[in-house]
Amino acid sequence: VRQRRMERAVEDARSKRQADMAALGNRTMEAAALARDVAARDAEIAEALALRGRLENELSTAQADGSSSLATLLALEEAHADLLDSLLAARNALGTVEDVPSDAGAAESEGSVREKLAATEAALAKAVSDRGEAVERENADLRRRITEVADTLTQRERLPPVAAYAMRASSH
């Protein structure tokens, strides 16, 4: 009887040891799965940070381009205003010169100057208009890209939805 009790105690100890080993194996498997999840999340975070860095670089480049485009547009508008002032001054001067009798060569020269001024004025107006349209297209493209990036980050549950922000930004 004593030997049987000892055998049972040994069997109980063995079964307890096997159960402990199985639990240890399960815990090891869980730890490995958690380590893989952490590594995957670290990789995803690194990818998101790299994307953020690229987008910040693109944004700063786009802002610099927008600033230079705006400076160019302002310079063109100033040049256009100066040209219009010069044209007005020339017309006023021609108006006072018209009172003086002139020969045929002067009339042709005056017509030529007027044509050149009108052509220059039209070309400058077209250039200013084209540049303004290009700036607007660039701004619209930037707004669209920023919204896409924000939506992408939102889908990854990183930021709140941006639809309201995008609508406000496009109305400005």
* Cα atoms in the 13 Å half-sphere on the side-chain side of 53: 6
In this model, does residue 102 exceed pLDDT 60? no
Residue with tokens 């610099």: 64
Q: What pLDDT digit, counting tens, does each position of 32-83 carry?
A: 999 999 999 999 999 999 999 999 999 999 898 888 888 888 888 888 888 8
| Pairs from 87-95 (Cβ < 8 Å, separation ≥ 24) | 87/117, 87/121, 90/117
The DSSP code for 100 is: S
DSSP string, 42-61: HHHHHHHHHHHHHHHHHHHH
Domain that holds residue 139: 2-171
Count up the domains in the chain and report the number. 1
Report the pLDDT value the prediction gives residue 32, as an integer from 0 to 100. 96
Over pLDDT 70: what percentage of the chain? 79
Mean pLDDT of the chain: 80
Confidence label for 171 from pLDDT (cuts 50, 70 and 90): low
